[in-house]
Structure 1
Amino acid sequence: RSFWCPPELRVGEFMYKIRKSINMPAAIAVYLMVDDCTTIPSKTFGEYYEEARDPDGWLYLVWAEESTF
């Protein structure tokens, strides 16, 4: 799935909006990863784009979930 995110959007804000839109329970931990590393919620998508964009011009992220209970 593809999302357009403004460069100033923080990863933590994005994760909050996605969790809220799909009604994800708090018992499920969510991780966004870039280049096999977990993201820092306070960093912006613009920062990650500059650091890790693919040669095709896209920033690829991996979404992972884990049950915490």
Structure 2
Amino acid sequence: YLVPSDLTVGQFVYVVRKRIKLSAEKAIFVFVKNTLPPTAALMSAIYEENKDEDGFLYMTYSGENTFGSP
């Protein structure tokens, strides 16, 4: 995603949750270089500190059921 530089990691996760229509009982976590960034960190700061040599910020995500299975 292309996001505004003043967006926080927490706001980014919220946008992703809405776009993929993730239900409230499922958690999603984003990682940058195998580290969970602080939710209050600005995406611009995360980008500057962790961008790849090709200019992209690569993130991975993981999800889990927080209230039982299904």
TM-score range, shorter chain: 0.7 to 0.9
* Cα drift, residue 20 of structure 1: 2.2
Between the two proteins, what is the percent identity of the paired residues? 33
State TM-score, norm by structure 1.
0.86
Deviations 1:12-52 (A, max 9, x none): 11111221233211211110100000121110110001111
CA-based RMSD of the aligned residues comes to 1.1
Count of residue correspondences: 67
2:42 paired residue number: 44
State TM-score, norm by structure 2.
0.85
1:12 paired residue number: 10
Structure 2 residue runs of 5 or longer lacking an equivalent are none
> Which has the higher Rg, Structure 1 or Structure 2?
2
Larger relative strand fraction: 1
